[in-house]
Amino acid sequence: MTTESNVHVEYAVLPGRTRPSALVHLGDPASRKPVIWSSERIASLAAALDDVETHEVEAVVLSGSAHSFGAGADLTALAAARTAGDAAELGAEGWRTFRRLTELHTPSFALITGFALGGALELALFADYRLARSDTRAIGLPEVRLGLVPGWGGIHRLARLAGPRVAYDVAVRDSRRGTSLSAENAGRLGIVDRVIPAAGWNEQWPAAVAELLSSFTPQRREKHPSDEEYAAQLTTVHSDFARSRPTVSAAPARALELLDAAQTETLDQAQAATTTVFADLLLSDAGKASLYAYQLSRSPGRLPADLTVGAAQPIERAAVIGAGLMASQLATLLVRFGGLPVVLTDLDQTRADRGAELVRSQLATAAEKGQLSAAEAARLSALVTASAEPGAIAGADFVIEAIFENMAAKQQALAEAEKHLAPHALLATNTSSLSISEMADDLQHPERVIGFHIFNPVESVPLVEIIRGRKTDEATVATALELAAKLKRQAIVAADSPGFVVNRLLTRLYDVVMTAIDAGGDPVIVDHSIDDLGLPMSPLRLLDFVGPAIQLHVSETMHEAFPDRFSHLKWLTRVVDDGQRTVLQRDQTLTPEATALLPAADESMRPAELAASVRTGILDALTDEVDRMLAEGVVERAEDIDKAMILGANFPWALGGITPYLRSRTYVRSNTAQLTSDESETR
Q: What is the DSSP string of 125-188?
A: HHSSEEEEETT--EEE--GGGGTS--TTSHHHHHHHHH-HHHHHIIIIIHHHHT--B-HHHHHH
* 191: CB partners within 8 A, 6+ apart: 125, 130, 139, 158, 161, 162, 166, 170, 181
Tell me the chain's radius of gyration from C-alpha atoms. 28
- Read off the pLDDT of each residue in 350-371 and give the average, rounded to a whole number: 94
Using the predicted structure, report yes or no on whether residue 673 has a pLDDT greater than 50: no
C-alpha distances in Å from residue 520, one per residue of 33, 569, 597, 668: 57, 13, 11, 29
- Read off the pLDDT of each residue in 644-670 and give the average, rounded to a whole number: 83
Chain-wide mean pLDDT for the chain? Answer: 92
Quote the pLDDT of residue 5.
66
Quote the pLDDT of residue 258.
97
Q: From CA 62, how far away is CA 104, in angstroms rounded?
A: 13
- Active-site pick, 93, 122, 265, 401: 122
Cα 226 versus chain centre, distance: 37
Quote the pLDDT of residue 157.
97
Using the predicted structure, report yes or no on whether residue 483 has a pLDDT greater than 50: yes
- Read off the pLDDT of each residue in 635-663 and give the average, rounded to a whole number: 93
Cα 443 versus chain centre, distance: 38
Quote the pLDDT of residue 666.
60
Quote the pLDDT of residue 134.
94
Contact (CB, 8 A) for 145 and 97: no
| Entry pTM | 0.86
Percent of the chain with pLDDT over 90: 84
- Read off the pLDDT of each residue in 543-548 and give the average, rounded to a whole number: 95
Using the predicted structure, report yes or no on whether residue 570 has a pLDDT greater than 90: yes
143 is known as an active-site residue: yes
Residue 520 Rama label (left phi>0; alpha psi -120 to 50; beta):
left
Q: Which of 69-78, 100-109, 144-153, 354-363 has the lowest mean pLDDT?
A: 69-78
Quote the pLDDT of residue 675.
40
- Active-site pick, 93, 143, 465, 474: 143
Using the predicted structure, report yes or no on whether residue 18 has a pLDDT greater than 80: yes
Element holding 497 (H helix, E strand)? none
- Read off the pLDDT of each residue in 405-428 and give the average, rounded to a whole number: 95
Quote the pLDDT of residue 28.
87
What amino acid occupies position 386?
A
53 is known as an active-site residue: no
- Read off the pLDDT of each residue in 405-423 and give the average, rounded to a whole number: 95
Using the predicted structure, report yes or no on whether residue 422 has a pLDDT greater than 80: yes
Confidence label for 669 from pLDDT (cuts 50, 70 and 90): very low
Query: Residue 290, SS3?
Result: helix
Quote the pLDDT of residue 33.
86
Using the predicted structure, report yes or no on whether residue 670 has a pLDDT greater than 70: no
Quote the pLDDT of residue 676.
36
Contact (CB, 8 A) for 629 and 501: yes
Contact (CB, 8 A) for 339 and 375: no
